[in-house]
Amino acid sequence: MKKARVLFVSQEITPYLDETPMGSISRQLPQGIQERGKEIRTFMPRYGCINERRHQLHEVIRLSGMNLIINDNDHPLIIKVASIQSARMQVYFIDNEDYFQRKAVLKDKQGNHFEDNDERSIFFCRGVIETVKKLGWAPNIVHCHGWMTGLMPLYLKKSFNEDPLFAETKVIYSLYDEEFPKQLHKDFSKKVLFDGVEKSHVETIKSPTFANLNKLAIDYSDAVIKASPKINPEIEKYLKKSEKPVLEYKTTEEYIEAFDNFYDEVLEMESVYA
């Protein structure tokens, strides 16, 4: 029997950024799942504040070189990789000079979220999918962490659902309590449109709030995990109405085992996305 394959897509991973609950989970979970017998791949954005020399990032030439068109503009896709030796795992980084060279993550020095965070999210999600295609690695599960990954379920279920690599893929979305206060760019729902993604699929994010982006992710996911003890009340209410399988919040001591079991349950399910 083949090992199940789990693709982790995360907004942030320790030790490449300052430690947060999401970063810590995104670091420890892939290692724990790998140790339990599943194959893994892990992706995050290559923010400009990541020290490439210290973490020994290097470009993967054979995976780089593609251009992604976002809002009618070409953006070169650069793929880098680093190893976490103690965990025997690699982390792939999605990079681009326009979106990820600035020496910050999501906010400027004044604490304001970058105006192009919407496009950065689109580029990251599509970049991960295109890179996995180049790797020829078919994931059984894609587990998404953070609102920057909120478009992954939509793209996998609408743009790439007929691709042999993703035809049977189940998508799990983790809900966190990290929010952005203002809306994303007003044209976000138009920029998101891509092969197979139509206006009717993105009505939810016509008002591109944090809550609405998470609602969209819930709609196109097969299952949801509450990764924070408390989540946005509006999202909580929406989740209860969705009838998607939900794994309740688990403590640091519990979550790796619980998530592993949840993956197995989800793999047995029929696809239930909207």
- DSSP secondary structure of 66-87: -EEEETTEEEE-EEEEEEEGGG
pLDDT of residue 239: 96
Alpha-carbon distances of 217 from 60, 81, 147, 152, 273, rounded to whole Å: 30, 27, 9, 8, 10
Q: Tokens for 61?
A: 């030439």
Give the three-state DSSP class for 138: coil
Residue 274 lies in a domain: no
Instruction: Give all strands of the β-sheet with 141-145 in edge-to-edge order.
Output: 58-59, 78-84, 89-95, 39-45, 5-10, 141-145, 170-175, 223-226, 246-247
Q: How many domains does the chain have?
A: 1
pLDDT of residue 5: 97
Residue 272 lies in a domain: no
**Cα–Cα nearest to 40, from 256, 249, 258, 269:** 256
Provide CB contacts within 8 A for 141, sequence distance 6+: 4, 5, 6, 7, 169, 170, 171, 172, 263, 266, 267
pLDDT of residue 1: 58
pLDDT of residue 271: 66
Structural domain of 42: 5-267
Residue 273 lies in a domain: no
pLDDT of residue 274: 47
Q: What CATH number is associated with residue 63? A: 3.40.50.2000
Torsion of CA 231, 35, 129, 167, to 10 degrees: -100
Alpha-carbon distances of 30 from 43, 90, 119, rounded to whole Å: 11, 10, 27
Q: pLDDT tens, position by position, for the chain (274 residues)? A: 589 999 999 999 999 999 999 999 999 999 999 999 999 999 999 999 999 999 999 999 999 989 999 999 999 999 999 999 888 899 999 999 999 999 999 998 888 899 999 999 999 999 999 999 999 999 999 999 999 999 999 999 999 999 999 999 999 999 999 888 899 999 999 999 999 999 999 999 999 999 999 999 999 999 999 999 999 999 999 999 998 999 999 999 999 999 999 999 999 987 655 4
Residue 124 lies in a domain: yes
Indicate the pTM of the whole model. Answer: 0.96
